[in-house]
Amino acid sequence: MTTSSFQDRVAPPGTATAGWTAALTASAASGLALGVLFPRFGWDWLAWVALLPLFIVIARARSAWQAFWGGYLAGFLFFALSCPWIATTIHHYGDLSRPVAAVVFVLFLLLMGSYLGLFAVLGYWLGNSLGHRLVPLPFLWVAVEWFRTYTPMGGFPWNLLGYSQYQHAGFMLVVPWTGIYGASLLIALANTCVAALLLHRARRTATLALPAIGLVLILGFATLPYHPPAALPRPLRARLVQPNTALGLNWTSSTLNTFLQTQERLSTPPGTPPVNLILWPEQPAPLNFELQPQFQRMSARLLDATHAAFLFEEVSYPLSALGVPNYHQPRNSAQLINADGTIGPRYDKMHLVPFGEYDPLPAWIASLGGVGKLVQDVSDFVPGSAPALLPLGPHRFAVMICYESIFPALARHNVAQGAEFLVNLSDDSWYGNSSAAPQGLMMAQVRAMENRRWLLRDTDNGITAVIDPYGRVTASLPRFTSGVLDASFAPSSALTFYTRHGDWLAFACLLAAAALALYGLGRSLWKKKNHQRLNP
């Protein structure tokens, strides 16, 4: 089928394919709809039609460029609306003026918009070879989301489409089988089916599309009231400390001592039941257990008072053979002190934050005037080399520091290796009163769902929360306050299908897209050969 005959098939008789203005307007509608799916808007019901305008643009595009720019605009607006906290963060805490911060934010949006531009142009090219541009779109959507997760420079899998339904426990029953990509695939499939009904008048197309739409709607809505039983045994107790530490403090010996005294008081509230584990979050305080005697003394008093294991975040340094710390190789680490006072294992953060904990730019780019100002305060952390399991009596658990909780593979690997519950230590004070904190909690909730594990999320200024294996927040602390959260939880050794097999669905979507591409290529070659045979 030629491009022109394809256009005739998807456009109503007697009408022309949408022009540039209509295409960009429809693409903008998709971008805006995607942007309001997540906290703090939370209009999750729009997910079932958010992609519809963009899919129609791809199906009716006159050229690859029209498809590409439509996708690019949708991606630009999507991240502009859902991630405005990036501009706030780099302005308030990156020492950048508002104009420079705005420029940097626009550069970020230009980068992130390219993912949807890539999706749209691949859908256009692949659909042309197949003679039907809608068929590959759900598989390509998941493939591009997976690529966005693990792309070079660290990846940024923030606000994947499937996360939009995180509050609907029934629909999210798919993620222990498929990971978050299964939820994204079902939503993209529903949008594709609706697009097929709108674009194709053929009865056969409608007959095939309607059952698919019905299946997705049953999964997405009929099971929404489902809630797993709450009366689960919880033999362990944890104490999550939320200090609400002020940013920008001048850390001296005196301010550090004051901080430790406050933390000790918060960690030992009188008249409370005993706990098994005390958590301190990632925070601005420059803690280092090995190099700070006052921290060691406080920890000893804390353990004597509580008889609990103690986990905290610190800046650690590798020691030379002579025991001298190498200050040129700092690590963002989670250190465990066992209940008997012995030093336990340490986990060094593996996924560092670009432009926060390391500079991903080549030296010659970072040396440029405006860029140099941006990265001058960027820390020079060294990433950890491997995950680590930490003991709590007979049980083992794993730690994710800060935004490591947005990477599905890291939590899955830890659980597959034997983690019976998960801990997320984070400092969300950098984000101010923005949507970043509730969005970070949302993604942590899905990590609990995927692996059917309790997840303890301790943050510096909120949102500190305890999440059950079905992604429900069972207890939390309000933001921008100091406080303590005591909560019970249960370790588990059962493994979900996703935990055992990983991102199998994302790989299947990649293979499906590749298979469709090969089929389309073969189809084109066969038609060309047949045409030459009939027209020598």
No. of helices (H) and no. of strands (E), the chain: 19, 12
Chain centroid to Cα 18, Å, comes to 35
Q: How many angstroms separate the CA atoms of 114 and 69, rounded?
A: 9
> Annotated catalytic residue: which of 83, 313, 349, 357?
349
Per-residue b or e along 488-525, where b marks 16 or more CB atoms closer than 10 Å to that residue's CB = bbbbbeebbebbebbbbbbebbbebbeebbeebeeeee
Q: How many angstroms separate the CA atoms of 239 and 163, rounded?
A: 28
Type of residue at 489: F
Residues β-bridged to residue 325: 319
Beta carbons of 60 and 10 less than 8 angstroms apart: yes
Q: How many angstroms separate the CA atoms of 180 and 172, rounded?
A: 8
C-alpha to C-alpha distances, 322 to 119, 179, 319, 517, nearest whole angstrom: 54, 46, 8, 59
Q: How many angstroms separate the CA atoms of 119 and 136, rounded?
A: 10
Encoded tokens for 85: 């906290």
Give 39's DSSP letter.
T
Maximal C-alpha separation, the chain: 94
Q: How many angstroms separate the CA atoms of 459 and 390, rounded?
A: 19
Q: How many angstroms separate the CA atoms of 7 and 17, rounded?
A: 7
Give 156's DSSP letter.
-
Query: Does the active-site annotation cover 282?
Result: yes
Q: Is 414 exposed, middle or buried (0-12, 13-18, 19+ CB in 10 A)?
A: buried
Query: Does the active-site annotation cover 349?
Result: yes
Give 476's DSSP letter.
E
Encoded tokens for 506: 């994302």
Residue for token pair 């730690």: 399
Query: Does the active-site annotation cover 313?
Result: no
C-alpha to C-alpha distances, 62 to 19, 123, 219, 296, 492, nearest whole angstrom: 8, 13, 35, 68, 54
Q: How many angstroms separate the CA atoms of 226 and 149, rounded?
A: 30
Q: Can you list the pairs that 38-46 forms with residues at least 24 positions away whose Cβ atoms lie under 8 Å?
A: 38/82, 38/159, 38/163, 38/164, 38/435, 38/439, 38/442, 39/435, 39/438, 39/439, 39/442, 40/435, 40/438, 41/81, 44/164, 44/165, 44/167, 44/168
> Annotated catalytic residue: which of 145, 282, 357, 450?
282
Q: Is 177 exposed, middle or buried (0-12, 13-18, 19+ CB in 10 A)?
A: middle
Beta carbons of 457 and 489 less than 8 angstroms apart: no
> Annotated catalytic residue: which of 83, 314, 357, 402?
402
Beta carbons of 373 and 100 less than 8 angstroms apart: yes
Kind plus residue range of the DSSP H or E element containing 41: none
Residues involved in catalysis? 282, 349, 402
